[in-house]
Amino acid sequence: MSNHNTAALLLEYFDKHKRALPWRGVNDAYKTWLSEIMLQQTTVKTVTPYYEKFIAKWADVHALANAPLDDILREWAGLGYYSRARNLHACAQSLSVHFPQNAADLAKLKGIGAYTSSAIAAIAFHEPIAVVDGNVERVWGRFRTINGLENVRRDLQTYVPHDRPGDFAEMLMDLGATHCSPRNPTCALCPLNADCVAYNTGKIAEYPAKKLKKPLPEKRALCFIYVNEGRVLVETRPNKGLLGGMSGVPCSEWVLAADFNMAEALGEIKDYTIKNTVIRHVFTHFALELTPVIVHDKRAGRYIDISDHNEAFPTLFNKVLASLSLE
């Protein structure tokens, strides 16, 4: 089948079977940008309520630029990868009037990489550019038996229809999320099955080629639970660093497990009880184990009722607080 016919087949399928997503067909670069940033490393199901909340609160990029960062972080709490929220705000503030309308200029903005810039350019500005993330790499890699994101991108570029590049990109995203799943693709239902080389030669398992995963480094730390009349001390973490600007309980430094030293982690704290529990949380680049320590020393600060408060915590600290309230 010619490249043109493959694109036509996919677009016809898209018109009939596309997933109904709130950021589809909106013709608004702000909404495309917001959804693409939220969808990085995060599922559609998780993103949808956050996307709707953000759009209701900040209807355009200027509203978002004028919002205090703290408000954005609070609304983002629970979505993870918090540098995305800070970059979102910085990017909104850096725009003079509108979003640039091509991938090359979009990629110069904060928090927008090669994939996101091409997705916004194709979907919102109809730039005929290939949009390749891990899902599309898998679909197209199997269809054409090509390995490697850059090889896939180069090949896919020759198929991109100039009249509907955004729909073409979204169709491939849909295939990655539906029929062409990593483990059990439903090839019999896939619109590409007649010409899919991997399917027709029994080589699906070879695409994409397996990458050897290195085990994540393990880190350890203590988290300190100061209690005053049933309320728990919380603080705002420094803006720089992981979970920067978010609410949490105080912690010792997060160090590699092999370097962890209890006396150093406790520092000046003298009167305490170490809990017989460990909170484990996996970040992108390391796993963290936090041991809660109930501190009996007094300390001034912001104390909250953990069963009734308005603070928005990232998942790590929600786990810590849940471990306390379950006692």
Residues in contact with ligand SF4, total (CB under 6 A)?
Answer: 14
31, 120 contact by CB (below 8 A): no
Residue 176 CA to residue 115 CA, distance in Å, equals 15
- Residue number with CB closer to ligand SF4 (6 or 116): 6
**CB 187, min distance to ligand SF4, A:** 3
In terms of CB distance, is 202 or 238 closer to ligand SF4?
202
Asked whether 198 and 204 are in contact (CB, 8 A), the reply is yes
Residue type, 182: P
Cα–Cα distance between 163 and 211 in angstroms, integer?
36
Q: At its nearest, how many Å lie between ligand SF4 and the CB of residue 177?
A: 11
CB of 142 to ligand SF4, least distance (A): 4
Contact 11, 167 (CB under 8 A): yes
Residue 156 as a binder of ligand SF4 (CB under 6 A): the answer is no
SS3 content of the chain, % helix, strand, coil (to 5): 45, 15, 45
Q: Is 142 in the site for ligand SF4 (CB under 6 A)?
A: yes
x-or-dash string of contact with ligand SF4, 39-78, rule CB under 6 A:
----------------------------------------
Residue 293: C-alpha distances to residues 40, 212, 270, 317 (Å): 34, 37, 11, 14
x/- track of binding to ligand SF4 for residues 166-205 (CB under 6 A): -------------xx----x-x--x-xx--x-xx----x-
CA separation for the pair 295, 21 (Å, rounded): 47
User: Closest approach of Cβ 194 to ligand SF4, in Å?
Assistant: 9
Helix (H) / strand (E) containing 90:
helix 83-94
Q: What are phi and psi of 325, to 5 degrees?
A: -75, -15
Pick the catalytic residue from 36, 127, 137, 170.
Answer: 36
Do the beta carbons of residue 249 and residue 319 sit within 8 Å? no
User: CA 98 to CA 325: how far, in whole Å?
Assistant: 47
Closest contact distance (angstroms) between CB of 186 and ligand SF4 is: 6
Report the C-alpha gap between 134 and 19 in whole angstroms: 19
- Of positions 130, 139, 156, 249, contacts ligand SF4 by CB under 6 A: 139
Pairing label, strands 287-295, 218-228: parallel
- What residue ranges in 83-230 does DSSP mark as E strands? 218-228
Measured CA to CA, the distance from residue 230 to residue 305 in angstroms comes to: 7
Closest contact distance (angstroms) between CB of 169 and ligand SF4 is 15
**65 vs 98: CA distance, rounded Å:** 12
Respond yes or no: is residue 327 known to be catalytic: no
Question: Which residue lies nearer to ligand SF4 by CB, 192 or 222?
Answer: 192
Active site residues: 36
Q: Which residues bind ligand SF4 (CB under 6 A)?
A: 139, 142-143, 179-180, 185, 187, 190, 192-193, 196, 198-199, 204
